[in-house]
Amino acid sequence: MNKSDKTASFAALLITLYFSLPVLIIAWLPSCFQLPVIPVQQPIYVPDFSSYEDVNDKKQQFFSYFYPLILAENQQVLMHRQALLSHETDELLLREICQRYSRDCQVIDDHKRLALLVQVDIIPPALVLAQAAMESGWGTSRFARKGYNFFGQWCYQEDCGLVPLKRDKHAVHEVRLFDSPRLSVRSYLFNLNTHVRYSELREQRFLRRVQGDTVTGEDVVEFLLAYSQRGQAYVDELRVVMQYNQLIERYDLPYLQTLSPNQNLVSQDAALIPSNKTALMNTNP
């Protein structure tokens, strides 16, 4: 077996272990851990959620599959957040993080860090799970099966995705294609953390951080009115999905308990913390 084959085999073993470990153990994996580069294309395992006749079994398989992906992507966001909170972070890394979330990164001072901290934060797993379930029909939609798109995300360039069967005649949007379910999760988190439509969600999340409160899906779901044309009816259904399936109790609260104090706090530096909501509103990423 050559070096390339050994690397691929080791990577495949790590991926298998990753999806086999209990989700709380995954949350404690070192943030610097990275899988080696795989030189050959590896198959992506996604359960056939339509094969489950028992609804409860289907739901549990869905949650069990996506929860580790959510933890992994939230961990990446937390790594960026911790870099913003530390005054010892390399300037090059700060600039890379800033350029991912903002257009203006010429000066990265405390005011700019504060604006970025409003954006660079985790999304409660219960909310992610509920939206993934609703947007993908519990993983059975055409977009989920053929494009790994579990959040109904659109794109606007020709051939960037799958064309909706009932798309209006003059519409040009497509449902975006992803290379894996995890990339779909990553894009969804980035969407909520950057799009202007969800600025109120980010502000509420940050204010709760400042006040020392936890942030669950129930605390921010009301700010997703713009995610669907259904508006309030969509938000109400998200609440029902979270409550009926006890997603806050089963996923949000246990997850928040695994975070270290440094990950829960906004900052140890009082200069970064706004004294009121007006000050927060004046921060511009």
CATH of the domain at 92: 1.10.530.10
What's the pLDDT score for residue 142?
87
Residue 21 has pLDDT above 70, yes or no: no
**Average pLDDT for residues 93-116, to the nearest whole number?**
92
Residue 136 resides in a domain: yes
> What's the domain range around 54?
44-281
Residue 89 resides in a domain: yes
Residue 192 resides in a domain: yes
pLDDT band at 45 (very low <50, low <70, confident <90, very high): confident
**Average pLDDT for residues 165-180, to the nearest whole number?**
73
Instruction: Please tell me the total count of domains within the chain.
Output: 1
Residue 26 resides in a domain: no
pLDDT band at 273 (very low <50, low <70, confident <90, very high): low
Got the DSSP string for the chain? --HHHHHHHHHHHHHHHHHHS-HHHHHTS-TT--PPPPSSPPPPP---GGG--SHHHHHHHHHHHHHHHHHHHHHHHHHHHHHHH-TTS-HHHHHHHHHHH-S--S---HHHHHHHHHHS----HHHHHHHHHHHHTTTTSHHHHHH---S--EE-STTSEEPPTT--TT---EEEP-SSHHHHHHHHHHHHHH-GGGHHHHHHHHHHHHTT----HHHHGGG-GGGSTTTHHHHHHHHHHHHHTTHIIIIIHHHHHHS-HHHHSS-S-GGGS-SSHHHHHT---
What's the pLDDT score for residue 152?
85
Residue 213 has pLDDT above 60, yes or no: yes
Residue 222 has pLDDT above 90, yes or no: yes
What's the pLDDT score for residue 37?
34
Residue 162 resides in a domain: yes
**Average pLDDT for residues 42-66, to the nearest whole number?**
91
Residue 164 has pLDDT above 90, yes or no: no
Which of the pair, 172 or 24, is modelled with greater confidence?
172
Residue 27 resides in a domain: no
Q: Which of 17-21, 138-142, 242-246, 276-280 has the lowest mean pLDDT?
A: 17-21
Residue 204 resides in a domain: yes
Q: Mean of the per-residue pLDDT values for the chain?
A: 79
